């Protein structure tokens, strides 16, 4: 089983309910949720003219490969009504793979660790709540150190 850290976010509709539905769908794909952060209200990043996001980080375990996990995540987002709009725009649900074990993967389809995670407080704050000592495999800094350096 692989340990994976995901970040979930929503800024449309009942944000907390959207996240809970997504977590339930992730469990239906065989993921075991071992830890979850509190909910965090966060300002939009990239495109500012939209509602605030609600974010949560989860630690889970899966037998899915990184690409199979990404495929399941995309299915969940589509099933929940996510539409492709403007980059960083409003969305019912957004699920990002932040870490997958200590894997460093860079392809056109998937980059792990998430390439912008160390620049985003809305990722680092909830992640620090559940995994402050997890070390970024490429940057060689813990999540807490990344947050402190932000």
42 lies in some domain: yes
* Within a domain: 149: no
Asked, for residue 143, whether it belongs to a domain, the answer is: no
Task: Please tell me the predicted confidence (pLDDT) of residue 120.
Answer: 87
120 belongs to the catalytic site: no
The predicted model scores a pTM of 0.93
87 lies in some domain = yes
In the set 94, 108, 133, 138, the catalytic residue is 94
Which residue range forms the structural domain that includes residue 40? 2-114
Which two tokens mark 68?
Answer: 């199979």
- Domain annotation covers residue 138: no
Q: Report if residue 105 sits inside a domain.
A: yes
CATH of the domain at 26: 3.30.70.560
CA distance 89 to 83: 10
Answer yes or no: is 132 within a domain: no
Percent with pLDDT over 90 in the chain: 77
Residue 62 tokens read as 């899966």
pLDDT in tens, 103-139: 999 999 999 999 989 888 889 999 999 999 999 999 9
148: annotated active-site residue: no
Per-residue model confidence as pLDDT tens digits over 60-75: 999 999 999 999 999 9
Q: How many domains does the chain divide into?
A: 1
Q: How many CA atoms lie within 13 A of 110 on its CB side?
A: 19
Asked if 108 is an active-site residue, the reply is: no
From the list 15, 36, 87, 91, the catalytic residue is: 91
Using alpha carbons only, give the angle 100, 88, 10 rounded to the nearest 5 degrees.
70
Indicate the average pLDDT of the chain.
92
Residue 98 lies in a domain: yes
Integer Cα distance of 126 and 109 in angstroms: 25
Q: Please, which residues have CB within 8 angstroms of residue 140's CB and are 6 or more apart in sequence?
A: none
48 versus 58: which is more confidently predicted? 58
């Amino acid at each position: 089983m692989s340990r994976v850290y995901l970040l979930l976010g929503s800024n449309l509709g009942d944000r907390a309910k959207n996240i809970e539905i997504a977590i339930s769908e992730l469990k239906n794909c065989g993921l075991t949720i071992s830890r979850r952060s509190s909910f965090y209200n966060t300002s939009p990043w990239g495109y500012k003219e939209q509602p605030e996001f609600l974010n949560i980080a989860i630690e889970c375990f899966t037998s899915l490969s990184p690409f199979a996990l990404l495929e399941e995540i995309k299915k969940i987002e589509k099933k929940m009504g996510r539409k492709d709009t403007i980059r960083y725009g409003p969305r019912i649900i957004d699920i990002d793979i932040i870490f997958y074990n200590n894997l460093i993967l860079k392809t056109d389809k998937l980059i792990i660790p998430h390439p912008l995670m160390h620049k985003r407080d809305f990722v680092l704050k909830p992640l620090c709540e559940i995994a402050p000592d997890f070390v970024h495999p490429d940057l060689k800094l813990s999540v807490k150190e990344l947050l402190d350096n932000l």
